[in-house]
Structure 1
């Protein structure tokens, strides 16, 4: 197995497929850079003199078409959950991959994976294309047909537009300057002057040219007039032509200044502080919600990608006004977005440096040019399209016509006829059988205007405009039946179904309930508690647990701590913890004759006994271990003693008395032998009588509890197979 190992990064594509990249940052640090010379763009462009027809060929996965030397294959190893793998072909992301690829292609006019074929005539071009394609076939190189261009009179190549007329600057380099909108306020003027002023030393008489704009930045003096317009357009022209904008010199290092601010990102590509190209991009609504760090990182990645043909294969420096980005290449990748951005930077050799915002004026101005927004105020008045149809329906409805005739003949309280239409207290009257009623209820309840209000608010909204006989019942039935309200709103009605207490056991330790308390801090290695409660006596055991535990280990503990002391129970009540519903747990107790009773989903009240004891135990531990949380395990034995010797109102005595027939030894016991229950003094001889009293106390407590609970519940009968909504509790619900 290879001694090398690099991590894998999976990046999701737009089509939801995945692109696999390998993070070779550690390997690149130990790699000696290849000094193979990258072609000088000026020399490549000089060879194009006289050419009139062009073709551009883009190689498909060019790096993967070059085999890795056998002695170096093991260095490309990457790790996955299925083991180690090694690349047999050159992967993307290696420091020397660009130089290796360029040296392989040096016999063709090529800059990395962009092959340019140029000729003086069509016949000559056909011959040249045949030669180039033959070389590619013989060397097993594959082209990407969708990105190839053949027989063009002009092509974009290495940031230039090449045609029979010569070489011109790519308009994309200066488009963001040409598209700069005219400022609408002082802030917009200051942004534009921030960019142009950054390069004022390259502009003769900059102060005179920009004076009309500078005057606009003074307080209460913004008037966009002819002089300001002339200065604005003149500065844009100067910024996009020599001597301000210069051609790149590939013998000098490149520098990038980038920034993200407001609603956009911006960057400048420079050499010796002179601009070579500008880049600006507005942020989408989704990207606007990202953090400042993410937007600054996005600006860095996008500008490097945009100027790939200048930067790939050469070391360069990126300046940013966000300090934390300095360490991006050394940071641990923790989010999918960071994985995506890092994958796009693999293979580039660059250093990130911090530059304060006040010194990063050009990129800052480019990032803020998208903030200039012109607001237009529009006034409109809504109209109800269904209103005319409703009036027409009312005018033709026999029920309304009959009622209106009766009102005209013998006026009734509240009813009146206006312009041939019947109203009741100023509201339009419609038939109770009108086919428009469902539409009206939908409009006044389910639309954004209705807001899915409750019965009263919906009724008042409808009753302000319309009236029909039985309207209250119609609105109440509609709101009750609203599917969205039942799914999304808080339950305002009392719970359905009356309280159904569990049957009282006949003997102690024949019917038990179990539950876990988890999420505790480590204490002596323990981080969980198994709570076991006898439902008749309320006697409890608190068993300490260590993660990880499974059904087998819990079963062994149960036998050791419970069965050993109290025998095999007849039934166990628990929630639906994965351990309690496991096949092992079910089969084990099935063969022991123990019946498993589990609470229904999202209804912990079924196992209310252990839920109550859990709260008591947690409260006890907080009281004694709050100052030293990791000491809680030392207090669990005392908590068990405290709980089992505490008086319970439901059973009328302590759990210890019920199980052992006597009081637990205490200091006060030796001062007085009195007892409130004479039968207990006979101890085991009168044990049956004590159990009868115990059941009486439990039955009385259950009846009292049911009486109080049913006050806040309603009796509802459901049929088997009937669909109902299950209300999830917020603290248990994991999703919307």
Structure 2
């Protein structure tokens, strides 16, 4: 066991206190622990005389050995009995014991102890105790899954953490993570009876010495180390059994002398550099070889520019009038002069890339493994400071859109537009009308609070009626008197599914008068968007005209509707009045 040997009086007393919980299982415990008791039973005046010598050292080793031998050695779990997890936490560390009570005899299954991190030291006590439970569950997961678990903790507020919130985010999150386990109950235990878990929490095993590798047969990877490919000579003996972290470090030190680190070579394409072919004895990648054959040195660029008729025409223009042209000819190579930043008078020379080399360049800057098949913007930003050609971004866009791997694996971030099902336009006026309520508004002196709006889908003609409420009777009466009696019976009426429209009275009137009443989708006002758009239009107009003190908005409702009906509509390019009355 990795228990640290006491070096002070306080540590010695804690060791005896923790071990005394099991003294009834240890034969001749008092005589074995007598050397330690001799140096710990000191008065306040003599505490400075504490000495830890060879007799105390031997007693410590013997007592520590009893913890891992009969009857205190670790047993296998019995599936017929629940397991008991006892935990404790302190600012120093976290401790826990896993046991089973089999016919009155305590069987030890697991001990856990670890140091708290600098962040965990700042946790509240309830968070630390909950963290101790969670860390023990993580460590003892193979023992706890599929078994009934009883938890003992000396922090009473955690007893109901699995049944209700404790109003602490960390604790509530831990309770959610523990839902996969069969936790029978959480019991409060007094601190004086929680000796072993308390001792483990105050004498934790340092993180560097934690040997979880031997439990699971794996080695923890050191953080912060660069990823390299190591070529280890064949004479290195194979590893057998569990690999611990200390053994791994020793092996690495021994292998450093005979280790060759291979890092991926970086390939940069610049005007003055040549992409050279490299042969690999172990195998050649055909795609990489095709890219390596593309040459972008100055001589090759001059040759390709001489073959390009557009570039040759630009060279003639530069020679005739070099001042007015945004190009420059230097050493037989044509450059494009570009301002790289806004409000910058300095222009940068960018090589004019011949059209014959565009596809090869895009393959290097997009399809090459070191380019990563990234998108248009990233590819454009890589190239724009080195090469230029007309319609550069459009060419990059077309190339990437034609790249098969990109089309196969790229994720579309925007949703595809849905299949629209627009309402077909009617053949004449008053065949299809939309109807909706606007309100409640502030009650006027006349008692009106709502506006019943009716619009014709063909002419956009609007009828608006101020009413005191939006009941079914008020709706039916206003619709019949103000619309049907003046403009006739429509073929179809479209409205939402509110109770003022969808009721027995309105259904009876539709059958009696003879029109079809259609309802829009629930919670989807876009189905009747024309009338919804008018509601958003006339409210601000009334607000501008009404007298705020008297709140007489219903007096200005008719003038606003008249102004709307006589104004030119943006969709039809005619006023609703002209379409309805022909003048």
Whether TM exceeds 0.5 here: the answer is no
Q: TM-score, normalised by structure 1?
A: 0.34
Ranked by relative contact order (alpha carbons within 8 Å, sequence separation 6 or more), the top structure is 1
